[in-house]
Amino acid sequence: MALRTIRTEGDEILRKKCREVKEITPRVKELIGDMLDTMYEADGVGLAAPQVGVLKRVVVIDVGEGPLVMVNPEIKETFGEQTGDEGCLSVPGMAGQVTRPQRVVAAYCDENGDEYEIEAEDLLARAICHEVDHLDGKLYVDVVEGPLRSVESGED
Ligand code: NI
């Protein structure tokens, strides 16, 4: 496993739509491992494959409950809304208010290709929505309410 370079806003790859993963190959497993390493190293709560320059529908999330690997994630249902602070490893040092569903139901495959459905709320629901947006070339700065503000570097 290895660290990969995180692409930042302005890099065109962040604006492209990712392709579905048809098969969990050794290469996809390596990508997942590297994404987890890269996310933890950067003190992030989530990372999507395009952020490391790979246009595949893969995200990793850890909101403090252990790693969640989602291959081909799909949000099936959303409930309610929450407005709160959001940041992104591709927009370093910044944060802003974003409204997201309070709860989501999402389907995905894990790193072994097994299918799951998860019901998530609060921060995890927010993280899933943020990361799935990345797979469609969307960044939170597109939907931020009000100005972005800078946050102290080193904050996590
Ligand atoms: Ni992000």
pLDDT at 153: 58
Whole-number Å distance between alpha carbons of 79 and 48: 23
SS3 label, residue 131: helix
Average pLDDT along the chain, 156 residues, taken 10 residues at a time = 94 98 97 98 97 98 97 98 97 97 98 97 98 98 95 61
In 3-state terms, the chain is what percent helix, strand and coil (to 5)?
A: 25, 35, 40
Give ion ligand 1 contacts, CB < 5 A.
88
Is 71 within 8 Å of 110 (Cβ atoms)? Answer: yes
pTM of the model: 0.95
pLDDT at 122: 97
pLDDT at 57: 98
pLDDT at 152: 72
41 is catalytic: no
Beta-sheet strands, E only, within 23-92: 46-48, 58-61, 68-79, 82-86
Q: Which of 30, 41, 81, 131 is catalytic?
A: 131
Cα(108) to centroid(ligand 1), Å: 19
